[in-house]
Structure 1
Amino acid sequence: MIEFVIGGIVLFLGLIYFRSKRTAVNNLPPGPPGLPVVGNLLQLGRTPPFKRFMEWRKTYGDTFLVKMGSDYPLVVMHDYNTIKKVLSDEVTAGRDQGFVFLKELAGKGLILTQGDVWKEQRRFAISTLRDFGMGKTWLEDNIIGEVEDMCGVLRQLNQQPFDPKTLLSHSVSNVICALVFGKRFDHSDAKFGKLSTLFAENVQVIGPILTIVQAFPILQFIPGPFRRAVKIAQRNVAELHSFCKQLISEHQSQSSSESADDYIDGYLKEAQEQTRKGIVNSTFTEEQLIISVLDLFAAGTETTATTTLWALIFLLENPDVMSKMQKEIDDHIPRDRFIRMEDKGLLPYTEAAILEIQRCASLVPLGVFHQILADTVIDGYNVPKGTLLAANLYSIHHDPRYWKNPASFDPNHFLDADGKVVHPAAGFAPFEVGKRSCLGEAMAKMELHLFIANIVKNFNVENEPGKKISHENYVSSFIIGPSPYKIVFIPR
């Protein structure tokens, strides 16, 4: 009942306050006709947007326009080649700067910045992550250490049904901690546990409400589910901000080395160098550092941990795949040690299975929305400045134009006739593509390989007695996550 009341209030207030900010544009992309004020929002219903968009694609083509409210247009793309071309253009590299309920994040950090600030901060982040982590033995050693601890916990369960979500989140978070803070936390640390919980909760909360509240800011003030979700998101961001600020302050007071040993060290030294050079209006500020750290955790923890949760489900549903992975691993890797990155070339089937997990999971189905910075043309249509842009990555990952049997879980999608790994030229973009593709892609690939392959090496998995999990049971928000489940880990 309250949803109908809220809907009526939104319509009423919208009719009073609505005013168009856009001039008429000819040759806009086609799209489903919407209602006054609410646009196409009500037509989404309870269906996840990425799936509703796939239905509309059958009618309106690969590129179409939806209105998430009368003044919140969104162009959705479904063709890989179009997506790659469009997202490689700097004119599409913007982000929505008008966050109405998380204003402290807008225009800061690594995810929501744009223009010169984004270019400078991204360039620094990529360089620093490469220098401190990508391809470095110490980072791999840290990951292996987390994998070893995780496997130890799983062995101690004595084959009791277990929900691995929290354990995986803590283990992956500690990898980010090593990179950012130069240290790890004990899993029993209350503050560390709170940090992981807040990030997970925000990913689940922000995704479903973001577009709706952005389109109708009045909802954040009306009692009901949207206001409650906004309050949760605001509270969590405030706590995360305070937590990271405290850790950065402690880190700064304890650091005495001339060299930079982690991300914060590198950032603070770059800020000092810019001050020394007399650079005015430097983007290397404390607030920018705090939000950047939050972004690194948000992007690097839930994505990798949730992909590993999906891996367990797909392997449980496809025991023949898990058996082939285990045989390949047993044939090449000694039983008394963990798999390392140097072993990856010996395990093509295992690598292909991990790639197939990423394809089938399509963790971030619509990527992160872009904003168009100037009038442009997309797929032959005129698209005005300020329009939001989404790539339906789930759609291309399940498109028969690129995949022989897109509905089937089959590692052979990534293997040639000789059993060698093939990285498809089209139809695969788990880290998005273009200028704003995931800057932590290399580290994520390393983590996924080391976590998933070593779990497979050390354990068989079975359903909880009397229950059966399925990849069709999921929760859709900003990311697609499996519904909570318990499984049995059987040491090999």
Structure 2
Amino acid sequence: MFGISEFLVALVAFLLIVQFLKLQWAGRQLPPGPTPLPFIGNLWLLGFKLHPETLEKLAQIHGNIFTLWLGQSPVIVLHGFQAVKDGLTNNPEDVSGRPTTPFFNEKASDKGIILTSGHTWKQQRRFGLMTLRNLGMGKKGLEQLIQEEARYLVEYLTSERGQPLDPSVSFSQAFSNVICAVVLGHRFSTDDETLQQLLEANDCLLKSGGSLSERLYNTFPWLMDHLPGPHKKMVSSHEFMYRFAKEEIRCHRERGVPDEPQDFIDFYLAQMVKCRDDPTSTFDEDSLIHTILDLFIAGTESTATTLRWALISLVLHPDVQEKVQQELDVVLGSSQLICYEDRKNLPYTNAVIHEIQRYHCIAPVGVPRQCVKDTTLLGSPVPKGTVILPNICSVLADPEQWETPRQFNPAHFLDKEGNFMSRDAFLPFSAGHRVCLGERLARTELFIFFTNLLRAFTFSLPEGVTEINTERILGGLLQPHHYKICAIPR
């Protein structure tokens, strides 16, 4: 007779075999990929992280479209420029959804822009784009806000008198203040406690993205809710940002919506009143709160991280830094206000900025997509609900698209005459229907901040320091390790 221990072993073995066969059956019509294990899928193979190098090795084995199992859920990875471009643009509507996870489904509950799908996403995104245009995205109004924050940043760095400093905090403050001015209608002083708390909460959420803690929460939410760990800080960070946005909305309501809206919240509150009797409207206070969080989270650290990588490239390639400064001096001089339109007269500087974004890919798979209907990807049938991971880093380092993909080389964006040259494979903001909402804002910010900094300073490593850490920290973004640098006034 079997004892209780033998029975339990046999039961576990039976469940594992059933789960293994279930995964094999479910994956029979999906693109090929590594064999998943029961319950954890391929997470063991990934080290519980979606690291670009691991995805590249798997693509070499399984091809430019392959299936991974994150726990019991299949995801299809698109690798390389052609696969990502075709997968996201051939049938863009089919792959325009967002997957839901227990953590974000509980917190966002189909609100906002980034994590929504279908009618909600279309209505909120359309309004978001229209409102950003009304507030001056791509016009002089918003440029003036960016120029003002760039000036504050230059003044701060000047006050440091070339002493070693960590630029991460000042960069995050500058870009968050741009978002605050656009969305809230005001900026914060750099020593404001609320701003510090916002940046800390935002940093926590970004670093937890794709982490083991987040994956465990999404795989076992019923268990993780009752256990201590880093996921608790994720929850508290999200709750703090939620309360902050709610308070800003309350202040706006107390003042009343002006005849001419001054910021994003003003426009949104006016839209809520306008659509009050529309049964198809998705405009309510909770959606506004989550849209504010979306704009803040997506619009702060992404550009700040790119600029931190930019300084690393400049100190590693002083010849590039010098050539940019020479071009700025000749074309703009020292007093002219820098505008986004100036990029057309600064081909080398523009090429360097693009190369920084290409070489230092900060969003390995962007935000995952989901099929909203049964469709076909690169000839493979894919059922509705399947998650799609476009490997953006593989596009920006595709050896078939870039002459020296593993080297920092601004010539990737210059023709033989030295004119700026756009490239089809430059997709740091993704592609298709869900291309980054704030692409124009990010491009404008990066250009104005970068050129103002290079015109005012020469960046170098502190005396006695000969190396800088270029390894990437994997989270919601690929961030550099903290470093110190000297901003020497020119």
Is TM-score (shorter-chain normalized) higher than 0.5? yes
- Indicate the residue corresponding to 1:357 in structure 2: 356
- Indicate the residue corresponding to 1:271 in structure 2: 272
1:15 positional shift: 5.2
Deviation sequence 1:180-210 (CA, Å, 0-9, x none): 1111111111112211221112101233143
SS in 1 for 2:290: helix
Structure 2 counterpart of 1:316, one-letter code: V
* Structure 2 counterparts to residues 33-432 of structure 1, below 5 A: 33-45=35-47, 48-69=50-71, 71-88=72-89, 89-100=92-103, 103-209=106-212, 210-217=214-221, 220-221=224-225, 223=227, 227-275=228-276, 278-425=277-424, 427-432=425-430
1: CA distance, partners of 2:469 / 2:394? 17
Normalising by structure 1, report the TM-score: 0.92
Contact 1:54–1:395 (8 Å) recurs in 2: yes
Question: Which one is further off, 204-213 or 244-253?
Answer: 204-213
1:399 positional shift: 1.3
2: CA distance, partners of 1:432 / 1:490? 36
1: CA distance, partners of 2:44 / 2:468? 29
Structure 2 counterpart of 1:260, one-letter code: P
2: CA distance, partners of 1:23 / 1:252? 55
2: CA distance, partners of 1:188 / 1:252? 27
1: CA distance, partners of 2:168 / 2:26? 49
- Indicate the residue corresponding to 2:478 in structure 1: 480
SS in 2 for 1:90: coil
2: CA distance, partners of 1:313 / 1:376? 42
Deviation sequence 1:281-302 (CA, Å, 0-9, x none): 5200000000000000011001
SS in 2 for 1:455: helix
Contact 1:469–1:485 (8 Å) recurs in 2: no
1: CA distance, partners of 2:416 / 2:270? 51
Alpha carbons of 1:368 and 1:238: their partners in 2 closer, same or farther (altered >3 Å)?
Answer: same
Structure 2 counterpart of 1:84, one-letter code: K
SS in 2 for 1:377: strand
SS in 2 for 1:103: helix
Percent sequence identity over matched residues? 36
Of 449, 452, 459, the match for 1:451: 449
Question: Which one is further off, 72-81 or 461-470?
Answer: 461-470
Contact 2:473–2:480 (8 Å) recurs in 1: yes
1: CA distance, partners of 2:466 / 2:125? 43
Q: Which runs of 5+ in 2 are unaligned?
A: 1-11
1: CA distance, partners of 2:290 / 2:489? 41
Structure 2 counterpart of 1:381, one-letter code: S
- Indicate the residue corresponding to 1:460 in structure 2: 458
Structure 2 counterpart of 1:458, one-letter code: A
CA RMSD of aligned residues (A): 2.2
1:255 positional shift: 3.4
1:214 positional shift: 2.1
Contact 1:172–1:305 (8 Å) recurs in 2: yes
SS in 2 for 1:127: helix
Structure 2 counterpart of 1:39, one-letter code: G
2: CA distance, partners of 1:371 / 1:73? 11
2: CA distance, partners of 1:306 / 1:104? 26
- Indicate the residue corresponding to 1:3 in structure 2: none
SS in 1 for 2:473: strand
Deviation sequence 1:105-152 (CA, Å, 0-9, x none): 141111010001100000000111111121221211111111111111
2: CA distance, partners of 1:183 / 1:22? 55
Deviation sequence 1:147-185 (CA, Å, 0-9, x none): 111111101112211001110101101111111111111
Question: Which one is further off, 297-306 or 136-145?
Answer: 136-145
Structure 1 counterpart of 2:481, one-letter code: S
1:248 positional shift: 1.2
Question: Which one is further off, 20-29 or 112-121?
Answer: 20-29
Q: Which runs of 5+ in 1 are unaligned?
A: 1-10
Alpha carbons of 1:406 and 1:369: their partners in 2 closer, same or farther (altered >3 Å)?
Answer: same
Deviation sequence 1:203-251 (CA, Å, 0-9, x none): 012331434432343562474xxx5121111000000000110011102
1:41 positional shift: 0.6
2: CA distance, partners of 1:80 / 1:188? 43
SS in 2 for 1:419: coil
Alpha carbons of 1:16 and 1:173: their partners in 2 closer, same or farther (altered >3 Å)?
Answer: farther
1: CA distance, partners of 2:432 / 2:216? 27
- Indicate the residue corresponding to 2:7 in structure 1: none
Contact 1:68–1:212 (8 Å) recurs in 2: no
Alpha carbons of 1:166 and 1:27: their partners in 2 closer, same or farther (altered >3 Å)?
Answer: same
Contact 2:86–2:378 (8 Å) recurs in 1: no
Normalising by structure 2, report the TM-score: 0.92
Contact 2:48–2:211 (8 Å) recurs in 1: no
1:442 positional shift: 0.5
1:254 positional shift: 1.5
Alpha carbons of 1:37 and 1:307: their partners in 2 closer, same or farther (altered >3 Å)?
Answer: same
- Indicate the residue corresponding to 1:29 in structure 2: 31
Of 478, 487, 490, the match for 1:489: 487
- Indicate the residue corresponding to 2:8 in structure 1: none
Deviation sequence 1:69-99 (CA, Å, 0-9, x none): 1x21110001323322322321111111232
Question: Which one is further off, 346-355 or 203-212?
Answer: 203-212
Contact 1:397–1:428 (8 Å) recurs in 2: yes
1:21 positional shift: 9.4
2: CA distance, partners of 1:274 / 1:96? 28
- Indicate the residue corresponding to 2:6 in structure 1: none
Contact 2:102–2:217 (8 Å) recurs in 1: no
2: CA distance, partners of 1:95 / 1:22? 25
Alpha carbons of 1:135 and 1:265: their partners in 2 closer, same or farther (altered >3 Å)?
Answer: same
